Structure 1
Amino acid sequence: MKMKKIFFTAFCLFTYWGIVNAQFSVKSPHSTVEAKVEAGNTISYSVYFNGQPVLSNSSVRFEFKQAPPLGDDLVVLKSSSVEINETWTPVLKRQSTILNNCNELILQLQEKNFPRRTMNLVFRAYDDGVAFRTEFVGPDNKHEYAMTEEFTTFNFTSDHTCWAVNHASYRSSQENEYFKRKLSDITDQMVIGLPMTVKVADNCYATITEAAITDYAGMYLKPDHSASGFSVRSSLSPLPKQPDNGDKVNFKFPHKTPWRVIMLGDSPGKLLESEIVMNLNEPCAIADPSWIKPGMCAWDHWWSGEVKMDNETNKKYIDLASEMGWPYQLIDWQWYGKFNSPEADITKVAPQLDMPGILAYAKSKNVKCWVWLYNTDVDRADWDKACATYESWGVAGVKIDFMDSDDQQMVNWYHRIVKTAAAHHLMVDFHGAYKPDGFRRTYPNLVTREGVMGNEYNKWSLRVTPEHMTTLPFTRMLAGPMDFTPGGFLNRTPEKFQNGTPAQVLGTRALQLAQFVVYDSPFMVACDAPENYKGQLGSEFLKEVKTIWDDTRILNGQIGEYITSARRSGNEWFIGSMTNSETRSLEIKLDFLDKGKYKLVSFEDIPESAIDAEKVVRNSRDVVKGDVVKITMVSGGGFAAYLVPVK
């Protein structure tokens, strides 16, 4: 990392022991983004994007059970600033390298009065956003503090349109819709989850989220009635058995909050190209991560039918993975018999299963298996011993389910589970999970997680609409990968759609194919049954598509309306486009290609797709850099293509 000192202007009133009411400014490397900070009687900050105010007079303050609030009556003891400029190589790639370039301002603050605690306020200005955190540095390292709330506010300049998800509770699987609403529509009864995306102007979009949650509680948003503008404030997930106004975080000095992140872009697509959340996490802690190999995965019969936890069914899905060229099969619930029970043993196989035989069969087919676990059964077990057992079996990873919380204790549980799994060369997929925060940079064996209302909801609801599917990339996915489980081939129009098993999906075949390109998930679980893929148009695309990428471009998109993504793996490109319930025509300019001829193989809606959503046409043509591909998508439709160089 190259660290370069830079200097900022401060307007100060000096006292003999420090500075009060000091104003500071930190700009991003290309001056696209600016954060202005004032510290003294209170802490306040403002954020600007291309000179346009995004947040103004927003505050940072903390309340404790048995100590005074922290954030008022402060003096600035010291300020310092550096430029961070590094390029690093991710394991879970959306692009081959990531630039981490920002200017950082650190303010050392101290209370004027007893107990004279000291804190660092750290701001980073990137060209694609602002991030800040508080470091509680001392001097008291003996007293355990019980934080009852963090009051970080985000005071917008007007009643903007936002896309906000109401989880209704701090205990949830975070599987809900991100509805379009006004900031003023957010009520005290709501528990707004992150990320929340805001349209500040036609050329300014902002997303609030967080990064690097370590030994802390997850953050939600509530209305901030103390501000004169249109403001929301942080609200932390309470510890178990605590009321909403009870303990949120217990800690001793020193301690750090997560990064509070305001992603910024001049279009919704620019938000999607940002790597700010990953950049705010620590580098990879696994000395040799070469064993971490994400990829496509078959998934047993629960989603497309009912649970059939027997040898024959598992082998049928292993055959599917082998035939499709996918490296994995997921053995889901009931493989160890009764679950979520004191009698459950996650190292003992249900009597009807021949696990050694299943794993040997998978190995003969060049497939590895994942196993599902209920989190309470994991919690009761000797987790290190269980991981050692799975490693000896040759299991590739674990899918752990139903945590449904991001309080401080659960956050610490996640970290322990992932670190122990890494020591035994196991990848992890969390379901019933809280949103990502970039921890996958530090421990890339955490390959994906749910925390999204995905395809499985088609089985019992009408909620996985084209509007929902085209909103997710600009909201939930901004935090990180999501295990949406795409790939349903029983495609239906709204008029023909029915809940039940085998499960149908709303939208066209081409839409489901496009999700494999549009949605981020290094471990991509395809949801349907072998018989629904066999001989079907589109299955070819699922044999070709990748799950990690050397380049990612968002070619167009509007939240809840449409999106087109292009991704490169080696010298091959993939394109995915999705629309909401509106029929839509788009032009895709192939200016991202290298020189030379490419063969483009596409899977497209046709007019009949508006009546029979399983209808899709396969086209093939030669294209070159700069060509324009014109596509038409029916209501709830899509477009998917792969491009390979012609030698």
Structure 2
Amino acid sequence: MTLTARQSLFLILFLCSFCIDAQKVSSPDGRMQVILNLPDKNKPDGVSYKVLYQSGKTLSEVVRESKLGITREDQQFVGNLLFVGQSEPVLVKDAYDMICGKRRHCENTAVEKKFHFKNTNSQTLDIIFRVYNNGVAFRYVFPDASDSKLSITGEATTYVLPKKADRWMQPYDPSYERFFPYSTGESATDKTQQYGFPVLYKLQDQPVWALISEADISEGNCAARLTSTSNADEYQITYPSAAQSEQPWHSQWHTVVIGKLSDIVASTLITDVSAPSRVKDTQWIKPGAVSWIYWANNRGSKDYQIVKDYIDLAVEMNWPYVLIDWEWDVMVNGGDIIDAVNYAKSKSIKPMIWYNSGTSWMEPTPNDRLQTAEKRAKEFSWLNKIGVYGIKVDFFAGDQQEMMQYYIAILEDAAKYHLMVNFHGATVPRGWARTYPNLMSTEAVYGAEWYNNTAELTDKAAVHNTTLPFTRNVVGSMDYTPVTFSDSQHPHITSYGHELALAVVFESGLQHFADRPSAYRSLPEPAKEFLKKVPVSWDDTQLIDGYPGEKVIIARKKADKWYIGGLNGKDQAQTLTVIFDFLGKGTYSFELIKDGKDDKSFSSEIIKVKKGTVLKIECLPRGGFTGAIR
């Protein structure tokens, strides 16, 4: 966004006055403030912070006073810090484009300030804060150059939430495939429960929301999580293991997106603070829809004839890609992987194939083909030779530093061979989609694949699907494998209208449409045509209405067209209201597809709308609607 004259004036006044208010860092518009409690210059002590946000005329404490600090194997920087100085505040302002994601053009605008400390052993630590109009980010830095290795063992960093804050938190799982149950924290009995990022919460008495996560993981970091403490509202940053590095060293950015719920959904803070692209030539990176074989059969791609059918489906549905999943190395029934790839290319469909990362479960094959640079070079050269455009890499084993290094190595080597990447059984996105734009999507979600595994998703899908747009999908592309109408191992009870809307509500640079070919072929023409044309990467994203677990209406723009998806998360019928405030001047045609007379049918119509039009859409229990505005 461009700074207004008022914001620029405020910033000038803010910078000029900063010398007399050294403990405060404010956002460019002045509504967000970080207050630091610094130790006396002559007395070692701890450092703490809190975050204030002005919503309307109310100034709310979004993060109550919380600890800062970090520990190394050889030194601690927690309660033994001396404040020795600070930098001048600087305006961080840059713009960048994303190939896939919720918004093509992004702007990164914040006020940054560095605070310098020494511990009682005269070892240096910097803490950097960036304060945005809709969020806060901070990181630790050991700035001294040294040949000796550091072992960073953990952090004292905490987040103390407002009392009785409503919260949606996912119990930690290495693959981040759990639900985000609602709580207020008061019912927690396990004081050592760990939670995976992101964490969403809302102030009880204000329409103010916050989402905690982290970004810009490098080879020198592990990926953190949160652990509850004896205080029901306090959560501490926890490392899975120590991180080894030379100096200078910096932690990942700890991030808190803050504002209205629409600010949470629209935020690009995770990529804003992440390193710029390391891939110079990106013309070969093309987001797109993918036909996917695994879901319907609960098997891989061993059967050549089934693989051919999914390639034919991609042709019929105008989807550019097909994913050939596990067991392709033992393909039978009339052809092998080379035959499958050649058949896809003969139909102008671009094939992608699956790999076991080799770091965990060793059963699904092929495995152990990517674990070293030499193996990757051999495999990726072969993929280039036969004509494969991307890889799906599955079954990663945790968030420790060596896994972060493995992810990055795969992304860097894949970029050299012009291969797009989809991570499965993986850590949640932490900004790599900006640094390595060939990362198209990541699973890290309890997705439709789970209809194959247990009966739990059947009853929870509607609530879960209306929670993910405010939690997991905020921080990056999400390979949920959506839009399934038939049943896999366990049944659906979400409506057909709900399932179709997932194509818009869920964002993923590679959108894997997971159902069997017969299900897509039997769709009525309006639904089928919608799936043939719906984009997977977006120029803009706006939340129209929603509340976690109850409802969501999202509008996404591609070129001059808007697409809308709405979901009912309740077990009873609900009216969803669309206010077309996001439109420009003129009259538009809204091609609406919604629930029909029952949950396995559609109703479609074309409605004339213009800016300010209010449209009420009746949805069945666990129902939904979608449509395009032209």
TM-score, with structure 1 as normaliser: 0.87
Which residue number in structure 2 is paired with residue 100 of structure 1?
A: 108
**For each residue in 1:242-291, what CA deviation from the matched residue of structure 2 results, as whole angstroms up to 9, or x when unmatched?**
xxxxxx2122211110001111012x222011111110011111112111
Which residue number in structure 2 is paired with residue 193 of structure 1?
A: 196
Is residue 145 of structure 1 aligned with residue 150 of structure 2? yes
Which residue number in structure 1 is paired with residue 467 of structure 2?
A: 471
Deviation at 1:490, TM superposition (A): 1.7
Deviation at 1:406, TM superposition (A): 1.3
Q: What code does the residue aligned with 1:129 have?
A: G
Deviation at 1:147, TM superposition (A): 2.5
Q: 1:412 to 1:301 in 2, by over 3 A?
A: closer
Which residue number in structure 2 is paired with residue 369 of structure 1?
A: 351
Is residue 35 of structure 1 aligned with residue 34 of structure 2? yes
Partners of 2:273 and 2:328 in 1: how far apart? Answer: 38
Q: 1:597 to 1:159 in 2, by over 3 A?
A: closer
Partners of 2:208 and 2:279 in 1: how far apart? Answer: 38
Could you tell me which of 506, 510, 513 is aligned with 1:519? 506
Is residue 490 of structure 1 aligned with residue 477 of structure 2? no
Deviation at 1:564, TM superposition (A): 0.2
Mean CA deviation greater in 40-49 or 298-307: 298-307
Partners of 2:447 and 2:295 in 1: how far apart? Answer: 14
Partners of 1:101 and 1:148 in 2: how far apart? Answer: 32
Unpaired segments of 5 or more residues in structure 1?
13-22, 239-247, 338-348, 492-498
Deviation at 1:11, TM superposition (A): 6.3
Structure 1 contact 304–527 (Cα < 8 Å) conserved: no
Structure 2 contact 78–156 (Cα < 8 Å) conserved: no
Partners of 1:292 and 1:158 in 2: how far apart? Answer: 46
Local SS of the residue matching 1:587 = strand
Deviation at 1:69, TM superposition (A): 4.2
Structure 1 contact 277–438 (Cα < 8 Å) conserved: yes
Q: 1:316 to 1:617 in 2, by over 3 A?
A: same
Q: What code does the residue aligned with 2:594 have?
A: E
Structure 1 contact 459–504 (Cα < 8 Å) conserved: no
**For each residue in 1:406-431, what CA deviation from the matched residue of structure 2 results, as whole angstroms up to 9, or x when unmatched?**
11110111001100000100000000
Local SS of the residue matching 1:483 = coil
Which residue number in structure 2 is paired with residue 558 of structure 1?
A: 547
Deviation at 1:389, TM superposition (A): 1.3
Structure 2 contact 295–452 (Cα < 8 Å) conserved: no
**For each residue in 1:211-261, what CA deviation from the matched residue of structure 2 results, as whole angstroms up to 9, or x when unmatched?**
111121111111234x6x8211111122xxxxxxxxx21222111100011
Mean CA deviation greater in 579-588 or 445-454: 579-588
Unpaired segments of 5 or more residues in structure 2?
40-44, 359-367
**For each residue in 1:183-231, what CA deviation from the matched residue of structure 2 results, as whole angstroms up to 9, or x when unmatched?**
3444334211111111114311111100111121111111234x6x821
Local SS of the residue matching 1:9 = helix
Could you tell me which of 18, 21, 26 is aligned with 1:9? 18
Could you tell me which of 89, 96, 104 is aligned with 1:81? 89
Which residue number in structure 1 is paired with residue 521 of structure 2?
A: 534
Which residue number in structure 2 is paired with residue 52 of structure 1?
A: 60
Partners of 1:59 and 1:584 in 2: how far apart? Answer: 43
Deviation at 1:132, TM superposition (A): 0.3
Mean CA deviation greater in 92-101 or 122-131: 92-101
Local SS of the residue matching 1:379 = coil
Structure 2 contact 305–334 (Cα < 8 Å) conserved: no
Local SS of the residue matching 2:449 = helix
Deviation at 1:39, TM superposition (A): 2.6
**For each residue in 1:335-383, what CA deviation from the matched residue of structure 2 results, as whole angstroms up to 9, or x when unmatched?**
123xxxxxxxxxxx87964333322221222210110000012216711
Which residue number in structure 2 is paired with residue 452 of structure 1?
A: 445
**For each residue in 1:483-506, what CA deviation from the matched residue of structure 2 results, as whole angstroms up to 9, or x when unmatched?**
000010127xxxxxxx62xx6433
Structure 1 contact 8–26 (Cα < 8 Å) conserved: no
Local SS of the residue matching 2:157 = strand
Partners of 1:136 and 1:183 in 2: how far apart? Answer: 35
Structure 2 contact 567–625 (Cα < 8 Å) conserved: yes
Q: What code does the residue aligned with 1:9 have?
A: F
Structural mapping, 1:578-617, within 5 Å: 578-581=567-570, 582-606=572-596, 608-609=597-598, 613-617=599-603
Structural mapping, 1:157-306, within 5 Å: 157-167=162-172, 172-186=174-188, 187-201=190-204, 202-214=206-218, 215-225=220-230, 230-238=233-241, 248-266=242-260, 268-306=261-299
Deviation at 1:65, TM superposition (A): 3.1
Deviation at 1:93, TM superposition (A): 4.1
Structure 1 contact 153–224 (Cα < 8 Å) conserved: no
Mean CA deviation greater in 622-631 or 124-133: 622-631
Is residue 430 of structure 1 aligned with residue 426 of structure 2? no
Deviation at 1:314, TM superposition (A): 1.4
Partners of 2:19 and 2:36 in 1: how far apart? Answer: 10
Partners of 1:308 and 1:410 in 2: how far apart? Answer: 27
Identity rate, percent: 29
Local SS of the residue matching 1:467 = helix
Structure 1 contact 174–404 (Cα < 8 Å) conserved: no
Deviation at 1:569, TM superposition (A): 0.9
Q: What code does the residue aligned with 2:560 have?
A: N
Structure 1 contact 142–252 (Cα < 8 Å) conserved: yes
Could you tell me which of 124, 129, 142 is aligned with 2:130? 124
Q: 1:543 to 1:164 in 2, by over 3 A?
A: same
Which residue number in structure 2 is paired with residue 638 of structure 1?
A: 624
Local SS of the residue matching 1:336 = helix
Which residue number in structure 1 is paired with residue 608 of structure 2?
A: 622
Q: What code does the residue aligned with 2:229 have?
A: D
**For each residue in 1:515-568, what CA deviation from the matched residue of structure 2 results, as whole angstroms up to 9, or x when unmatched?**
111111011000001111113132222112100111211101101110000111
Mean CA deviation greater in 420-429 or 282-291: 282-291
Structure 2 contact 329–336 (Cα < 8 Å) conserved: no
Deviation at 1:160, TM superposition (A): 1.3
TM-score, with structure 2 as normaliser: 0.90
Structure 1 contact 130–261 (Cα < 8 Å) conserved: yes
Q: How many residues align?
A: 592
Local SS of the residue matching 2:485 = coil
Structure 2 contact 192–229 (Cα < 8 Å) conserved: no
Is residue 355 of structure 1 aligned with residue 337 of structure 2? yes
Q: What code does the residue aligned with 2:342 have?
A: A
**For each residue in 1:433-480, what CA deviation from the matched residue of structure 2 results, as whole angstroms up to 9, or x when unmatched?**
110011110111001000000001112323332111111111111221
Partners of 1:350 and 1:32 in 2: how far apart? Answer: 63
Structure 2 contact 167–184 (Cα < 8 Å) conserved: yes
Structure 1 contact 197–206 (Cα < 8 Å) conserved: yes
Partners of 1:515 and 1:149 in 2: how far apart? Answer: 39
Partners of 1:459 and 1:506 in 2: how far apart? Answer: 15
Q: 1:62 to 1:318 in 2, by over 3 A?
A: same
Partners of 1:96 and 1:145 in 2: how far apart? Answer: 38
Deviation at 1:47, TM superposition (A): 0.2
Taking only aligned residues, the RMSD between alpha carbons, in angstroms, comes to: 2.2
Local SS of the residue matching 1:419 = helix
Local SS of the residue matching 2:213 = strand
**For each residue in 1:99-121, what CA deviation from the matched residue of structure 2 results, as whole angstroms up to 9, or x when unmatched?**
2111111112222x22x211211
Partners of 2:579 and 2:62 in 1: how far apart? Answer: 32
Which residue number in structure 2 is paired with residue 494 of structure 1?
A: none
Which residue number in structure 1 is paired with residue 142 of structure 2?
A: 136
Q: 1:431 to 1:217 in 2, by over 3 A?
A: same
Partners of 1:129 and 1:637 in 2: how far apart? Answer: 33
Q: What code does the residue aligned with 1:599 have?
A: S
